[in-house]
Copies of this chain bind each other. A is one copy, B any other.
């Protein structure tokens, strides 16, 4: 590993993305990316008796689908990095309770897929683990009742509000030389930047995109600078879930730093739903949003050779209902993971 800046590092032996999978709910399955997800559950309870248990099942299903694409079993995974939005991260814990895999829980709100990927990559490249999984999830109904109102309340949603994605995405990483037992796409993690907490004083819990945009801007600038790259070096700069409002703000903040990503930026929250047709206002959100879009849509496109270099910048709003009730503003964080398609060496 080479430290290339504060919180930024490049991998000398880039960990390989062996497989990935996304499991989502009905609404996500009806969206523009619906055909791309590995699993679409028509029943948002997944046969369970609570939304929380349904979210746990999504985690289980995503990890199983990810491993199911290889000849590996859970016993061959050294460590799993997990996270979700529920209090005390119970979706991940209960979803992986039976798996028996050494478990590291993380919390970075909707940025967690990036921090989990970064941790899995560092553990893998350093030799601490041969294979590691990163997985995160969210569920519209478990989030609504925890963060906002009971579903039955039927509260109005302002135009800046985002819709929490029901979904989970999982990625299996392996050390470069490590064989998966299957032929694998030539994707690997080249570099990463751990985000700083940025808080410009946004207090509107119905405008998370605005709260997270400053963190995304800062992390993108830091990563480009540490790597000595410009936006044009990437085929896609993919933010987590800034949505339509936050993305506009991101462009504005970056333009102040003479950086323009508009011709190669997309946002998982803007991609997963049809904004008009699905009545989602400012787009999707949740730990499962960036995870399922990455695993269901983006990584397959990279594997097919349609994208060569991706900057994945998952963004999180680090508030809670309690902090909001106490009048606190909403701190944001964003972590960047640079994923590249490598030219396979002839063996």
Binding site for B on A (CB under 8 A): 1-3, 6-7, 9, 49-50, 52-53, 78-79, 83, 85-90, 93-94, 96-97, 99-109, 115, 118-119, 122-123, 125-130, 146, 193-197, 199, 318-323, 326, 328, 331, 333, 335
Contact = CB atoms under 8 A, between A and B. Distances in A.
Contacts of A326: 49-50, 52-53
A19 B99 CA distance: 37
A182 B87 CA distance: 41
B323 A129 contact: no
A217 to B, nearest CB: 15
A188 to B, nearest CB: 16
Contacts of A49: 326
Given A7-B79, A88-B320, A104-B106, A197 B93 contact: yes
Given A52-B323, A79-B7, A320-B86, A115 B104 contact: yes
Contacts of A195: 102-103
Given A1-B127, A90-B323, A102 B50 contact: no
Contact of A90 (B99, B100, B128, B319): B319
A22 to B, nearest CB: 23
Given A2-B127, A102-B196, 12 more contacts: A79-B194, A88-B107, A88-B323, A90-B319, A90-B322, A93-B197, A94-B328, A102-B193, A103-B196, A103-B333, A104-B115, A107-B107
A178 B97 CA distance: 39
23 contacts: A9-B128, A49-B326, A52-B323, A87-B87, A87-B320, A88-B320, A88-B323, A89-B318, A90-B319, A90-B320, A90-B323, A90-B328, A94-B328, A94-B331, A97-B199, A97-B331, A99-B197, A102-B195, A103-B197, A104-B119, A105-B318, A107-B107, A119-B119
Contact of A3 (B105, B127, B199): B127
A194 B101 CA distance: 9
Given A7-B102, A108-B104, A127-B1, A318 B115 contact: no
